[in-house]
Amino acid sequence: MIIQENYSLKNLNTFGIDSSAAYFVELSSIDEIREVLSDSKFTSISKLILGGGSNLLFTKNYDGIVLKNNLKGITLIKEDANFYYVKAAAGEIWHEFVMYCIKNNYAGLENLSLIPGNVGASPMQNIGAYGVEIKDVFYELEALNIEDKTIHVFNHAACKFGYRESAFKHEYKNQYIITSVTFKLLKQPVFNTSYGAIETELKAMHVTHKNIQAISNAVCNIRKSKLPNPKEIGNAGSFFKNPEVPNNKYQSLKNDFSEIVAYNLENGNVKLAAGWLIEQSGWKGKKIDDAGVHALQALVLVNYGNAKGKEILDLSQKIIDSVKNKFGVTLEREVNII
Ligand code: FAD
Ligand code: EPU
């Protein structure tokens, strides 16, 4: 375990922001995590747990210690008539874990293929795509309490999952290091192709008999056609959440903007496509210095090269203000601002 000082984070965040950490350490075991947390030098400074850096924006240098989670290992811990219970260490790469499950015929994660980042961050915002969220396959997680350094187990209810939400973004924020996540995966797959684009893609791929590998391939194809690859252009996926509004607000918007893109929710509210709101506010493809709005997906803010985190943040505020002005809807950032 090597603790480094004044460490560049540029290659450790998918936005490619040139920021640095006062201290940086990679942690490969729970003992190492406990050791660094016990070091009196670090007890009173702030701590940032870093996974793949694909859902955060550094707006300044980080003056505490960055703990890069590198815990590895995947284990089938038990099975019953219908399910496999698969435990993955927090530092496993999410997409590689999904591929491992597909290869072993553990079903349920295929719609979540190709989401960047690590397993440990997946419960943080209840990652979701193409009709599935991890709350649908989550069993429990283990997390180390930063204060007392003991491992706590959190079941489904304790995590309080919501749309891009969990208790780890609120009451447990900065208190726990998630060390592993256990998923409850199906022995008999239930194919979720409710997102029309998946059916269309499966047809284009000439798939006649659905299977989890084919669904994964279809999702990967759709994602590659829509989302910018962070290796080519810095971004953190959707910068904002899709806002939820009461039905009467939606009806009045629909009167004024008949083309508005929206989805009905079970609770009677309506979710609006933030990408549409941003595009209609004139931001799609716009660029201020190196900070921009992606030309194909207005919900994705991008770094064209040397943008500073603060410039991306300022751009996001301009977008929030425009959308509020035009539609009376307040966008909320999905990306964690550091
Ligand atoms: P990081 O960015 O490293 O961390 C995110 C937050 O979690 C930080 O606050 C960090 O401190 C905290 N954290 C990380 N690991 C731990 C841990 N072990 N314990 C405690 N706290 C921790 N998200 C979706 O939901 N759906 C998508 O379809 C999607 N598509 C994307 C596409 C692109 C091109 C990109 C760049 C991002 C996309 N995202 C998507 C966002 C991102 O992939 C997810 O949020 C992912 O789970 C972040 O994982 P990470 O390891 O990179 O987390
Ligand atoms: N749209 C526009 N203009 C745009 C972009 C989108 O009008 O520039 C409209 C289109 O009508 C489109 C609709 O918005 O049909 C929805 O767009 P898309 O299917 O691309 O999905 P999204 O709502 O933009 C969400 C998630 C993604 C997830 C996809 C697929 C959020 C905040 N984003 O995006 O998650 O991959 O659906 O399920 O919920 C992420 O969280 O980082 C992320 C990428």
In tens, the pLDDT along 264-300 reads 999 999 999 999 999 999 999 999 999 999 999 999 9
State the chain's mean pLDDT as an integer. 97
At 19 the pLDDT is: 97
Report how far ligand 2's centroid is from the alpha carbon of 123 (Å).
Answer: 20
Residues of the chain with CATH 3.90.78.10: 234-337
Q: Quick: pLDDT tens for 157-191.
A: 999 999 999 999 999 999 999 999 999 999 999 99
Give nearest CA residue, ligand 1 atom 15: 121
Give me the percent of the chain exceeding a pLDDT of 90.
99
- Concerning whether 20 is annotated as a catalytic residue, the answer is no
Residues of the chain with CATH 3.30.43.10: 4-69
* CATH, domain 4-69, list 3.40.800.20, 2.60.40.1120, 3.90.79.10, 3.30.43.10: 3.30.43.10
At 288 the pLDDT is: 97
Which atom of ligand 1 lies at the shortest distance from residue 55's CA? Answer: 2
* Catalytic member of 164, 180, 216, 316: 164
Q: Quick: pLDDT tens for 91-135.
A: 999 999 999 999 999 999 999 999 999 999 999 999 999 999 999
Residues of the chain with CATH 3.30.465.10: 74-186
Give nearest CA residue, ligand 1 atom 24: 127
At 181 the pLDDT is: 98
Give nearest CA residue, ligand 1 atom 31: 237
Report which of 113, 123, 55, 118 is spatially closest to residue 300, judged by C-alpha positions.
55
Is residue 196 pLDDT above 90, yes or no?
A: no
Per residue, what are the HEC states of the chain? CCCEEEEECHHHCCCCCCCEEEEEEEECCHHHHHHHHHCCCCCCCCEEEECCCCCEECCCCEEEEEEEECCCCEEEEEECCCEEEEEEECCCEHHHHHHHHHHCCCECCHHHCCCCCEHHHCCCCCCEECCEEHHHCEEEEEEEECCCCCEEEEEHHHHCCECCECHHHCCCCCCEEEEEEEEEEECCCCCCCCCHHHHHHHHHCCCCCCCHHHHHHHHHHHHHHHCCCCCCCEEEEECECCCEECHHHHHHHHHHCCCCCEEECCCCCEEECHHHHHHHCCCCCCEECCEEECCCCCCEEEECCCCCHHHHHHHHHHHHHHHHHHHCCCCCECCEEC
* CATH, domain 234-337, list 3.40.1190.20, 3.40.50.300, 3.90.78.10, 3.30.379.10: 3.90.78.10
- Concerning whether 26 is annotated as a catalytic residue, the answer is no
- Concerning whether 164 is annotated as a catalytic residue, the answer is yes
| Fold of the domain built from segment(s) 74-186 | 3.30.465
Band the pLDDT of 195: cuts 50, 70, 90. confident
Q: Quick: pLDDT tens for 200-224.
A: 999 999 999 999 999 999 999 999 9
Q: How far apart are alpha carbons 190 and 110 in whole angstroms? A: 11
* Catalytic member of 238, 281, 311, 316: 238
Q: Quick: pLDDT tens for 230-261.
A: 999 999 999 999 999 999 999 999 999 999 99
At 131 the pLDDT is: 95
